[in-house]
Structure 1
Amino acid sequence: YETMIVLVNLDAARTVRVGAGVWIKELLTMTGASGGLILALLVAGGGLAAYLLDRHRDIPLRTRYFVGLVGESVVYAVLVALLVSSAVGALFAAVPPSEGALWTRVALSIGAGIYEELVFRVLLVGGLALLFRALMESPVQAHVLAALLGAALFSGVHYVGPLGDPFALPSFTFRFLFGLALNALFLGRGFGVAAWTHALYDVMVVTGLLG
């Protein structure tokens, strides 16, 4: 994503970025260093820490694990497209596709799968789930409430600020249901599946693979 977004912005009249990625880097810039550099160091450090913590478990890295993850995410991406698009289509007119050059939209699709899932699923929904589990007796009810509230916030934030979209009920409903599906995947299957599902769904949409 980072390489593609630099390339598509070389000749762009207006710089495009995934909003969630900009938020993360601006927050990290408050340390006084480059947000991109700090993020890269955090990712590298996190990967090293995960390896050191789990190396005693002697879990082999196998290609089939990665292939299985991507394959599972492809299935979820198609199912989400069918269910969410059908639900919104039954209530409203079709939501218009995003505009812009193909490679720009592909780059933004990949970035959304990474940064939006990190912000809205890991930090927001994960944090809400921990909070509600501490306040409620039923873990299931806590997760349902976290998923619903997280989906509403995920959808609503797309209309906030000078670069936000004009509010429209069809697009809000679509984003709410899409966010709800991703929240369920995150809580049930983890960050990796949710991130790949989001990215693959977006790529399928912008390339016309889903019609």
Structure 2
Amino acid sequence: MNNQIVTTNDYWSDARKPLSCLMFLLPWIAVYEAGILMLARHNPDEIRNGADYWMRSLLSSAGLSQLLLLPLLVIGVLLVWHLVTKHPWHVRLETQLGMLAESVLLAVTLVAVGQVHQLLFLSLQPGVPDEQLLTLATGNLTRAVSYVGAGVYEEVMFRLLLVPLAFLVFRMFEFPKKWAAVMAALSTAFIFALAHHVGPSADAFNLFTFSFRAAAGTFFAAIFFLRGFGITVGCHAAYDLLVGVFLVA
């Protein structure tokens, strides 16, 4: 009976496994990379997501500038993670469908959080004009491709890389594991929000956008700890597509 339970594998643990995350991630990467090539053949950097551009710039400065190197590195990290954890080479279709449904559900939850945040912000600062609130995309194909890239590469940069690093740093200072996780989530959420306001193409700073992005960064970090990397990517991409494409008035 116990052996049957192990081989059956429940969805909640299966969705967190690196191989499940990798298979879930591959379509998002393919859509983004193909979209970049089709929409910006001469200068892809013009429409690349910021985190994607920063990581590619770091690789380029190290003499590694091949077009598909970054997605291959992401895939390689997940494959190494899978090999280290020694999980079976088996991916369940129902798990992939469940991850998609869970990602959309969490994205809708974040939309609701954003609405509450906006109401609270307006109640505290009723004189703030609407144009100073969080402005989202115009809904064209280029924006949609960029949103998919944000879901993939912002989560690679801020959750897959920075959150574990921050967790290890706080553990080095002898924080208990739970508090180290909380501090890692909050500190990387602050960096995530700040990164959107840094650089020549950054958004103009205002308190509303910064505070919401910090809240969203905390939300994504919580999903990363509780539900794994794949669903975090799916939630982020689905949220950006919802608010920037499907729900634009």
Same fold judged by TM-score > 0.5? Answer: yes
Higher relative contact order (CA 8 A, sep 6+): 2
TM-score (normalizing by structure 2): 0.74
Q: Please, which of 223, 226, 232 is the counterpart of residue 185 of structure 1?
A: 223
CA distance in 1, matches of 2:189, 2:223: 12
Answering whether residue 227 of structure 2 is matched by residue 197 of structure 1, we say no
TM-score (normalizing by structure 1): 0.87
Paired residue type of 1:97: T
Deviating more after overlay: 86-95 vs 66-75: 86-95
Runs of 5+ consecutive residues of structure 2 not aligned to the other structure: 1-31, 123-127
Q: Please, which of 31, 44, 55 is the counterpart of residue 24 of structure 1?
A: 55
| Residue 51 (structure 1) shift | 5.7
Partner residue, 1:9: 40
Runs of 5+ consecutive residues of structure 1 not aligned to the other structure: none
Task: Report if aligned partners of 1:113, 1:198 keep a CA contact under 8 Å in 2.
Answer: yes
Matches within 5 A, 1:152-163: 152-163=190-201
Q: Which runs of 4+ in 1 moved over 3 A?
A: 43-54, 56-59
CA RMSD across the alignment? 2.5
CA distance in 2, matches of 1:185, 1:73: 10
| Residue 151 (structure 1) shift | 1.1
Task: Report if aligned partners of 1:151, 1:176 keep a CA contact under 8 Å in 2.
Answer: yes
1:139-161 Cα deviation digits (max 9, x unpaired): 11111111111111111111112
Partner residue, 2:202: 164
Paired residue type of 1:38: L
Q: Secondary structure at the match of 2:135?
A: coil
Paired residue type of 1:107: V
Paired residue type of 1:115: Y
Cα distance change, pair 149–59 in 1 and its aligned pair in 2 (3 A): same
Answering whether residue 150 of structure 2 is matched by residue 150 of structure 1, we say no
Q: Percent identity?
A: 34
